[in-house]
Amino acid sequence: MAAAPAHPQPGPDRAGPAAPSAFGQRPVNTVVEAPCMTVPSPRKWGTLVIACLAMLLLAIDLTVLHQAAPKLVEEMRPSAPQFLWIVDVYGFALAGLLVTMGNVGDRIGRRRLLLIGMTAFGAVSALTAYAPTPEWLIVARALLGVAGATIMPSTLSMIRNAFTDPGERTTAVGIWSSVSALGFALGPVVGGALLNSFWWGSVFLVNVPVAVLIVVVGSVVLPESRNPRPGRLDLVSVPLSVVGVIAVIYALKTAAHDGVAGAGVWVAAVAGLVSLVLFTRRQTRLAEPLIDVRLFGHRAFSGAVGANVVCIFSMLAASLAFAQYFQLVLGWSPLVSGLAGLPGGLGAAVGGALASPLVTALGRARVVAFGLGLSAAGFVMYGQVDMDTGYAYMMTAMIITSMGTGFTFAVTNDTILASVPRERAGAASAIAETAQEMGGALGIAVLGSVLNGAYRNNLRLPAEVPADAADQIRESLGGALETAAALPARLAGTVTETARQTFVDSMQMTVMTGAVLLALLAVAALPTLRGVPKVIAEVDLDDQGRAQDGPVAAR
């Protein structure tokens, strides 16, 4: 079925064509007025390399702190609430500002925004590495999140604008997705290697030379691109989106850690949902919305976003469970645990790279369904992991799961980007990445709660264990091992073995829940993405700023 226009009609607040520079010509490397203009091939592929390197840095930074946490706690001695803020505030700031920064990039230029953000990221990384107090570290991590929010949507939107050929664009997005997945796997390895020889701040200080390299090379290589008719940035929508996203993610994370009984969870949840409802209603009335909510009326767009949410929902919950399994059940060091997870990143990288030729052969719907089905099969294999399972089996399951994830994200991200004109690529990128942040928080909250609840409810302790010790043992596997160490030797061994086995049983149930969700999504992907072309043609704005019709998405 032919696609309907997926973008808002022009309104009175649309700006005219961009003005010439003071010298009477366009700024060097700027491609803003001719959507069909092509970027020279060397610069185009150079843009992909820089975008991938920037995304690799961000992906590593998202996971590297987990490895540094024990040393950080030992040296800085933050309180429990301070530690939670140190870990979480980066993600809050990042997720809350993605939509706003994606729109800012569309207006001021994605190249400019990326270079500003990367400069700030390098400078704040140095401040973070040498933070003298927990309060300083919390503020620095928040600023890192703000800088990350300027970089993340810029990378994908620059790829969207540099690669005008639909086939090349699909390949480029697949490579970008591969590098992103590899970065998540490399984070624990990089962190573990640095922490073997240096203090906890080294995991942040290593960002500085990479950021400098990206800024220097990017200043020469990256072409500029922006929306030539951006309109005004709605100053009411910005705080509504920020408050809505941050409050919902805060409520989900707090519920996962402390349960749903606390008043703070409900206050945050209500505030977030009300803000998001008001934000959504406002977007339907603006000529230039931050998010064109009408895009979600197209099956291809909403199906691709939904696939991202559910996929990351399951993946992050499994990652959390296996991080504990490797270290607390098998007793591996953080570095060995990080290395053990590396095949997963490599598998996702291979899947992302192979997605483009598979789309040519099978079509988008079948590749996404195939990828989700592979991930579901890998989760079923995860569900058989026990106390004495060999690493070869786990690695096989890891590669199968991650290759499926690579196929899925490469195609869905390309579908999301191709569903909007290049001029609005920053906003589309922000939608995709915000959905993943929300899906990750939801996965940890829901499946993390399933894991913790199953462990707590199924744990059977010897009657000799004191009541106060039993409460700590039931709280978490980490707490169980620490508490058991203080018990008499005979009792400690029994408690440790029981806690580990109960955790593994609970982990099996959790990953099987994820397997069911992924399998259902694989089935749903076939009708949802049916009719989406293998090669999605360019969608440009006409002279009045309207999105021209094209085979973007089937209803």
Walk along the chain (555 residues) and give the pLDDT tens digit of each residue: 333 333 333 333 333 333 333 323 333 343 343 344 455 577 888 888 998 899 888 888 777 776 677 778 778 888 767 777 787 788 778 878 888 888 888 788 888 999 999 999 999 999 999 988 889 999 999 999 899 888 888 887 888 778 877 778 778 888 887 787 777 778 778 877 787 778 888 888 988 999 999 999 989 888 887 766 766 777 888 889 888 888 887 887 777 666 677 778 889 889 989 999 998 888 888 877 877 777 777 777 888 888 888 887 777 767 777 877 887 888 887 778 778 888 888 888 888 888 888 888 888 889 999 999 999 999 999 999 998 889 999 999 999 998 998 888 888 888 887 776 666 666 667 777 777 777 776 776 677 777 777 888 888 888 887 888 887 788 777 778 888 887 888 888 888 888 888 889 988 888 898 899 899 989 988 888 777 766 666 554 444 344 444 434 333
Tell whether 189 and 272 lie within a shared domain: no
Tell whether 227 and 238 lie within a shared domain: no
Tell whether 150 and 264 lie within a shared domain: no
Q: What pLDDT was estimated at residue 35?
A: 42
Tell whether 481 and 509 lie within a shared domain: yes
Tell whether 336 and 221 lie within a shared domain: no
What's the per-residue H, E or C state across 403-468? HHHHHHHHHHHHHHHHCCCHHHHHHHHHHHHHHHHHHHHHHHHHHHHHHHHHHHHHCCCCCCCCHH
Q: In angstroms, rounded to a whole number, what is the distance separating the alpha carbons of residues 426 and 158? A: 8
- Are 191 and 67 a contacting pair, CB within 8 Å? yes
User: 262 lies in a domain?
Assistant: yes
User: 15 lies in a domain?
Assistant: no
Cα→Cα distances 289→100, 365, 518, Å? 11, 29, 32
Q: 190: domain range?
A: 38-233
Q: In angstroms, rounded to a whole number, what is the distance separating the alpha carbons of residues 352 and 367? A: 11
Tell whether 140 and 283 lie within a shared domain: no
CATH number of the domain where residue 49 is located: 1.20.1250.20
Tell whether 398 and 301 lie within a shared domain: yes
Name beta bridge partners: 225: 31
Tell whether 376 and 507 lie within a shared domain: yes
Q: What pLDDT was estimated at residue 33?
A: 37
- Are 458 and 502 a contacting pair, CB within 8 Å? yes
Name the region of 547 (left: φ>0; alpha: ψ -120 to 50; beta: rest): beta
User: 473 lies in a domain?
Assistant: yes
User: 19 lies in a domain?
Assistant: no
Q: What pLDDT was estimated at residue 147?
A: 92
User: 363 lies in a domain?
Assistant: yes
Of 264, 289, 314, the domain-final residue? 289
Tell whether 228 and 261 lie within a shared domain: no
pTM, entire model? 0.72
User: 227 lies in a domain?
Assistant: yes
Show Cβ contacts of residue 464 under 8 Å, excluding neighbours closer than 6 positions: 491
Q: In angstroms, rounded to a whole number, what is the distance separating the alpha carbons of residues 174 and 153? A: 16
User: 87 lies in a domain?
Assistant: yes
Of 289, 321, 336, the domain-final residue? 289
Tell whether 125 and 259 lie within a shared domain: no
Q: Which two tokens stand for residue 378?
A: 């890998």
* Phi, psi angle pair for 541, to nearest 5°: -85, 140
Q: In angstroms, rounded to a whole number, what is the distance separating the alpha carbons of residues 532 and 364? A: 7
Tell whether 324 and 389 lie within a shared domain: yes
- Helices then strands, each counted (H, E), the chain: 17, 2
Q: Residue 31 has what DSSP assignment?
A: E
Show Cβ contacts of residue 50 under 8 Å, excluding neighbours closer than 6 positions: 214, 217, 218, 221, 222
Give how many domains the chain has, as a whole number. Answer: 3
- Are 200 and 71 a contacting pair, CB within 8 Å? yes
Q: In angstroms, rounded to a whole number, what is the distance separating the alpha carbons of residues 31 and 105? A: 14
Q: What is the distance of C-alpha 48 from the center of its chain?
A: 19
Name the region of 77 (left: φ>0; alpha: ψ -120 to 50; beta: rest): left
User: 515 lies in a domain?
Assistant: yes
Q: What pLDDT was estimated at residue 374?
A: 93
Of 289, 306, 336, the domain-final residue? 289
Tell whether 321 and 217 lie within a shared domain: no
